Amino acid sequence: MSYLLPQLQSGWAVDQAILAEEDRVVCIRFGHAYDDTCLVMDEVLAGLAEKVKKFCVVYLVDITEVPDFTEMYELTDACSVMFFYRNKHIMVDMGTGNNNKINWALDSEEEMIAIIESVYRGASKGRGLVVAPKDYSTSYSY
């Protein structure tokens, strides 16, 4: 499903994607197109991209091709989804302890849309940390 979403091929392209958006959330999935977790997340993101296009844009970044952000954002997981708004990283409190990124695959478009909406509402009010609409502390085991 990764072929349905725009892919950023360089660190410069990632920076420009984050800098260029003034009014929408930038959702970036860092990972590999061949990874099972990323495949599930890519399917969800591809399904919701058209529905959220007024307030969010979704990009994919292969961390092998673009290793520039691996150390900066601690991208050690197979799949990581991060949010940015007006050149600022927006953290999401999901009850898991890691507020910087979502590092598992959500299999529900509705849940992901709800998270993106929460990020947009909070970020547009100037918040750097937003609370997810659902607590995921017991949903996923690591």
List pLDDT tens digits, range 42-95. Answer: 999 999 999 999 999 999 999 999 998 988 888 989 899 999 999 999 999 998
Residue 56's DSSP bridge partners are: 25
Cα–Cα distance for residue pair 123/130, rounded to 1 Å: 8
Give the mean pLDDT of the chain.
92
Tokens representing 32 are 């590999």
Please state, in angstroms and as integers, the Cα–Cα distance from residue 62 to each residue in 39, 45, 99, following that order: 12, 15, 21
Q: Dihedral of CA 10/11/13/14: which sign?
A: positive
pLDDT confidence band for 97 (50 / 70 / 90):
confident
* Complete domains list, the chain, with CATH: 2-131 (3.40.30.10)
Cα–Cα distance for residue pair 116/113, rounded to 1 Å: 5
Residue type at position 124:
S
How much is the pTM? 0.92
Residues comprising the chain, all counted? 142
Residue 15's DSSP bridge partners are: none
Cα–Cα distance for residue pair 5/60, rounded to 1 Å: 7
Start-end of H helices in the chain: 11-20, 36-49, 109-124
Q: Dihedral of CA 42/8/62/69: which sign?
A: negative
